[in-house]
Copies of this chain bind each other. A is one copy, B any other.
Amino acid sequence: MASPRKTEVLQLLRDSKDYVSGQQICESFGISRTAVWKIINQLKEEGYEIEAVQNKGYHLTGAPDVLSLSELQSRMKTKMAGSHLLYFDVIGSTNVEAKKQAENGAPEGLLVVADKQEAGRGRRGRSWTSPAGANIFMTLLLRPRFVPEKASMVTLVMAVSVAQGIADISGLPAKIKWPNDIVIHKKKAVGILTELTMETDYIQYLVCGVGINVNQTEFPEEIKETATSLYLEGGRKINRAGLITCIMEHFEKNYEAFCRTEDMSGLLEIYNNLLVNKEAKVRVLDPRGEYDGLSHGINELGELIVEKEDGSVENVYAGEVSVRGICGYV
């Protein structure tokens, strides 16, 4: 549990371009000089570089890549997505934790964040490499009112939001590989896994998990050709808390657009512009038979529109098949 005071002091320091006097901090939060001194020391211990100048006060000169509850709380300005936060240094799986929290009544918008994930999973239980101190593992809890059939589109909404967040923070050309990966320069940097708990016609809750390779500096030999991180593609370290906050802001806005129509119509253009396999040759790995075609992006239901070689058009549902680019990895 982060001290709310520490979060507020951090926020005050971050929001001030100039020095903030100890007196000002005391008065803002009704705390003693000693309390201020303790909080400043705690922040320094966590890695923040804080300059203290007599008669002027404190100044945040360096905010390193600290991932902590205070850091996240001091940045998060959303109403729903990330409005409630849980942070873990190490966790089995943020999706599993979010589902447990949901069973215990946690509210919509809870974001579970971890620095290191030990039992992370991709789709269908595939494992996902999780080193420490470098990446983002987070899961957002939603309690939607739409019918379960619409739920798989939340993955697409999150994909748009993550691609936008990465572009904003790093300037990298993050693209979506339909339906649930984000690639940079044709290598995978992000996986998204949405899980749903439902009754026949009623969503109890939905968790949307995102794993982002942020500052990871190397990958095992066997995935080197297909996996990457923002650091490897952009050449500089990224502040993870800032990236998380930015993604949540985009998600909140995009999800509102989605909920208005309960389909992708409001996000269609933006999604298709981010799609790496738009107007590209793809192979549809349909269990009933593979075929090649030209991808024309998604339709309003989030299905991939694929024009076959004979000119006929298939709308491919994410659940049914995988799609592979014919040239290269994506």
Chain A interface (Cβ < 8 Å from any Cβ of B): 96, 99-100, 103, 123-124, 147-148, 152, 155, 179, 193-202, 204, 317-320
Chain B residues near A123: list those with CB within 8 A. Answer: 199-200, 202
Complexed CA–CA distance, A200 and B122 (Å) = 12
Closest chain B CB from A316 CB (angstroms): 12
Report the separation of the CA atoms of residues A186 and B195 in the bound assembly, to the nearest whole angstrom.
39
The CA of A195 and the CA of B204, in the complex, are separated in Å by 9
- Alpha-carbon distance A54/B201, docked complex (angstroms): 62
Task: Tell me which of B155, B195, B199, B319 contacts A194 (CB under 8 A).
Answer: B199
Query: Which of B179, B195, B197, B320 contacts A195, CB < 8 Å?
Result: B197
Chain B residue contacts of A320, Cβ below 8 A: 201
Distance of A198 Cα from B179 Cα, bound (Å):
16
Identify which of B100, B193, B200 contacts A103 (C-beta below 8 A).
Answer: B100
Contacts of A202 in B (CB 8 A): 123-124, 319
A99 interface neighbour in B103, B148, B201, Cβ under 8 Å: B103
In the complex the two chains form, what is the Cα distance from A202 to B320 in whole Å?
10
Bound together, the chains give a CA A202 to CA B195 distance in angstroms of 10
Of B148, B200, B317, which contacts A318 at CB under 8 A? B200
Closest-by-CB residue of B relative to A96 is B103
Question: Given that A103-B96, A103-B99, A103-B100 are contacting pairs, would A199 and B195 also be in contact in the complex, using a CB cutoff of 8 Å?
Answer: yes
- Give the Cβ gap from A35 to chain B, nearest Cβ, in Å: 40
Nearest chain-B residue to A149 (Cβ)?
A: B149
Closest A-B pairs by Cβ, 3 of them: A201-B319, A200-B319, A152-B200
- CA–CA, A196 and B206, complex, Å: 11
Q: CA of A19 to CA of B98 in the docked complex: distance in angstroms?
A: 55
Q: A100-B103, A103-B99 are in contact. Are A197 and B197 (CB under 8 A)?
A: yes
A206 CB to closest chain B CB (Å) equals 10
Cα distance A147–B320 in the bound complex, in angstroms: 10
**A123, chain B: closest CB distance, angstroms:** 6
- Shortest distance in angstroms between A211's beta carbon and chain B's nearest beta carbon? 15
When distances are taken between beta carbons in the complex, the residues of chain B under 8 Å from A148 are 148
For A202, give the chain B residue with the smallest CB separation: B124
